[in-house]
Structure 1
Amino acid sequence: MNNNLNHDRLGETSEIECLRLITDGSGIGYQNGIATFVQGLLPGETGEIEVYEAKKKWQRAQLRKITKRSPNRLEPPCSAFEQCGGCQLQHTTYEETLLWKQRWVEDALTRIGKLNVEVKPTIGMEQPWRYRNKVRLHRKPDGQLGYFKEKSKELVDFEDCHLLSERMNHWIRLTEEFLAGSYPEIHTLTFRENTQNEGLLLLEGTPTKVLSAEENQEFFKALSEQGLRSVWGTDDEGSLVLIWGDEEFSQTILDLSFEVSPLSFLQVNSQQTNVLYKLVLEGAALTGEEIVWDLYSGIGTLALALATKAKKVTGIEENPYAVENAIQNAINNHAVGHVEFLKGKVEQRMMKIEEQPDVVVVDPPRAGMEPEVVQRLLELKPQRIIYVSCDPGTLARDLSALTHGDAGYKVKSVQPVDMFPWTTHVETITRINRA
């Protein structure tokens, strides 16, 4: 028996005032001293709620009716907003979303990292719609494509995702029509779009010997006329196979050209990526004489941008497809001799490099840096560390380890960037210098 459960409160209805937003986009208020989380309620609003999950010190409730409305409330433009859950903040103004993202970073650094540092206002977008250059969709048994509903495997379809370009939405509709009643093996589809409005499509679960270019020329021609350059699948071993079109697919960042594999990581917001990378270069303050490491280097986007201003850059990346792209990208951008890429886990490969880095740039996954990476950085003592983070909580944890006690580092600046408008996600660039 779980003594933390309080079944006697389940189904209770009451009115509550929302005081602030938490990092999943829920509003929080207090009912008889118990923290109450309500999805869809905005700060300053009151609403009638019904409790559906109750623990000793907190509870979750469903919003039944808004009794006092915030002047910041908007009607979400997306018809699937309440069902999908991918965008948690479409019901408030864009300016408010930027303020809350700044506050969430501040709260994480204070509460988790025990750091008293200034967090600059979040850098947003002038047009915060149609920004995603990649989408991963799942397929219903009837052939319709959609997103997984938040925290479930239930599929939600949509007519027009406002985070995707109209062009990409059209590719989705064309593909949905083509797959209707056919190729049940295909369960997941990934679309990418570059800054030249060209696209690629990856079909997962595809027996490539069945889905052939020869038998589907009409479909591929229709995609080609709409700007799609290639269709990829996977073989029986799960390896990538080009089904139709051009093998090369490139993206432009800071006037550099990058080949992108269907399975490689790339920032999903092309416009804000340029903003992000300019901030990284500014924080690195390179003079042309520095040895730079780029940890979790992906397809080499940041490493090659750094290589234009550094003596040498070493990138470390685990994804073999990304490393292959990175090596080719160094050749394409005439950076051979200034940059090298090592394949493997960061915590293993960085231990074997003998040279002393002056500047280290880290852009880890949401889980943050492994403890061995943090410890190795403290041993190497580079003059500057630029930390690009997609999770304020793990950022705060790692910054605490790098700056507390006799670690020897001090946080110089913290700049949130809105890479994912209308969602609760925020990217943060933190500059750390030797104290």
Structure 2
Amino acid sequence: MSFAVNKNDQLQVKIEDLTHDGAGVAKVDGYPLFIPGALPGETVKVHVLKTLKKYGFAKMLDVIEPSSERIVAPCHVFPTCGGCQLQHLSYEAQLTQKRKSVRDVMDRIAKLPDVPVHAVKGMEDPWRYRNKSQIPFDTEDGRVIAGFYKTRTHQIVDTDVCIIQTTEADELMAMLKRKIQQLGIETYDERTHKGMLRHLIVRKARQTDQVMVVLVTRHKKFPQKQEVVELIQQEIPNVTSVMQNINTANTNVIMGNETINLYGADVIIDRIGDIEFEISARSFYQVNPVQTEVLYQQALDYAGLTGDETVIDAYCGIGTISLFLAKQAKEVYGVEIVPQAIQDAKRNAELNGITNTHFEAGAAEDVIPKWYAEGKLFDVLVVDPPRKGCDEKLLETILKYKPGKVVYVSCNPGTLARDLRILEDGGYRTKEVQPVDMFPHSSHVECVALLDLSK
């Protein structure tokens, strides 16, 4: 079979769009080529690396006509690190591109060309926003390295600085690289499944300034733990918690099931708005606290609560959205499949003196019908599913019981669009979609969509 494009071709192409992971898209006689680093509107010279039946991949050799929105990425490892995809695009253009990507899936997948997609709500200062860092360690040519993985690999890009994470994470990463060899601590080698230190995890509470450090190790036995704790305290005075997480498995999953307190409290406390949350070593908590408040306020605005409504929060996690909703609802029922998260949600409700929430562990598609069978009626349903979108059975459950309003919080516009089409076919109407930029300089965008039953 012959293609318009062949492997090892060198071509001059015009970039038309970006993929969902930030690569430029060019078309040669209708054949798409994906080109990392290229931006819409640019003319670039490329070397074709791979051709498949429906699309191919190419490496950019030169920018012949640059985009007016191209900038010099401020991070020195941006070209190789997989953490950010869009630092070479101005922030204003990033927001425009993200809105375009949402508009595209609303048209193409949801078949909703008339539904308003608003301008993306971005950040005033889109740097140093991540309150959680997960930093792998390794040894290369006898030297300890740490940083972040190259795109689609487990090869570490060594760095001492990441300008989207906290300065505390930078300082701890650099300090441990200097010190662990002196202490005789071996870094973990995932190829041989040997060594000790796997990851450094740093969590910071933005409102209280508390910092938790988690050392992920291959063994429970950690002879140098006291020296490491003292070094951490010397480096970062606002560290209030040092934990050891043990992960003995030969896996690329970061954390194991057992966590030991080495120093301080088991949790740090943060606030979103006026609600406090306890965050443990393994708690899920949104990594951008500034935009989390924007996202949750949007969900609350769409819910339109007056104080008389009973609300379901499916995929409720540790109760973050539930407690926001509870301030303005009659009652909120939260369901989450992870039992530990439900325990955290109950504790967070108690911490804030909120008494009109009810949390239950289980699959939403099982628990929600049980609530209806018990005679409970619901006015609003809020869903905040993982990237794969809502479980098919949950969508069937929504369409069976038909709560009057659905607020869909999504971290994946593609699966959001798929699910909106299903709900539309079942009698709901999508009123509007508001994108929120939770991850500046990456290709990701979150959305909140409002649906109600058609009259």
Shorter-chain TM-score above 0.5:
yes
CA deviations on 1:302-330 (whole Å, 9 max, x unpaired) are 10111111111111112233222211111
Match of 1:347 among 352, 357, 365: 365
Match of 1:96 among 93, 97, 104: 93
Q: CA deviation at 1:417?
A: 0.3
Change beyond 3 A, Cα 1:86–1:215: closer
- Secondary structure of 1:125's aligned partner: coil
**Which residue does the alignment assign to 2:346?**
327
CA deviations on 1:238-261 (whole Å, 9 max, x unpaired) are 322212221231111011100012
**Which residue does the alignment assign to 1:292?**
311
* Matching of residues 416-427 of structure 1 within 5 Å: 416-427=435-446
**Which residue does the alignment assign to 1:81?**
78
**Which residue does the alignment assign to 1:159?**
160
Q: CA deviation at 1:179?
A: 2.6
**Which residue does the alignment assign to 2:260?**
241
Q: Does 1:204 align with 2:216?
A: yes
Q: Does 1:193 align with 2:204?
A: yes
Change beyond 3 A, Cα 1:199–1:414: same
Change beyond 3 A, Cα 1:110–1:211: farther
Report the count of equivalent residues. 428
**Which residue does the alignment assign to 2:49?**
52
**Which residue does the alignment assign to 1:263?**
282
Q: Does structure 2 retain, via aligned residues, the 8 Å contact 1:357–1:380? A: no
Q: Does structure 2 retain, via aligned residues, the 8 Å contact 1:286–1:309? A: yes
State TM-score, norm by structure 1. Answer: 0.94
Considering only aligned residues, what root-mean-square deviation do their CA atoms show, in Å? Answer: 1.9
CA deviations on 1:357-398 (whole Å, 9 max, x unpaired) are 111111000011000000101111111111000001100111
Q: Does structure 2 retain, via aligned residues, the 8 Å contact 1:140–1:146? A: no
Q: CA deviation at 1:45?
A: 1.1
**Which residue does the alignment assign to 1:122?**
120
Match of 2:230 among 210, 218, 231: 218
Change beyond 3 A, Cα 1:420–1:85: same
Question: Mean alpha-carbon deviation: is it higher for 416-425 or for 154-163?
Answer: 154-163
Cα distance in 2 for partners of 1:86, 1:224 equals: 24
CA deviations on 1:79-135 (whole Å, 9 max, x unpaired) are 111111221111111111101111111111111111221110101111111101111
Change beyond 3 A, Cα 1:8–1:31: closer
Cα distance in 1 for partners of 2:31, 2:85 equals: 24
Q: Does structure 2 retain, via aligned residues, the 8 Å contact 1:6–1:55? A: no
2:442 is aligned with what amino acid? T
Give unpaired runs (5+ residues) of structure 1. none
Cα distance in 2 for partners of 1:218, 1:260 equals: 23
Question: Mean alpha-carbon deviation: is it higher for 78-87 or for 171-180?
Answer: 171-180
Q: Does 1:384 align with 2:405?
A: yes
Q: Does 1:18 align with 2:54?
A: no
1:200 is aligned with what amino acid? M
Q: Does 1:182 align with 2:202?
A: no
State TM-score, norm by structure 2. Answer: 0.90
Match of 1:62 among 49, 59, 62: 59
Cα distance in 2 for partners of 1:220, 1:41 equals: 41
Give unpaired runs (5+ residues) of structure 2. 187-194, 249-255
- Secondary structure of 1:35's aligned partner: strand
- Secondary structure of 2:144's aligned partner: coil
Cα distance in 2 for partners of 1:33, 1:214 equals: 62
Q: Does structure 2 retain, via aligned residues, the 8 Å contact 1:403–1:409? A: yes
CA deviations on 1:145-181 (whole Å, 9 max, x unpaired) are 2212111111112221110122321122223333334
Q: Does 1:231 align with 2:228?
A: no
Q: Does 1:356 align with 2:374?
A: no
- Secondary structure of 1:430's aligned partner: strand
Q: Percent identity?
A: 35
- Secondary structure of 1:329's aligned partner: helix
Cα distance in 2 for partners of 1:318, 1:202 equals: 25
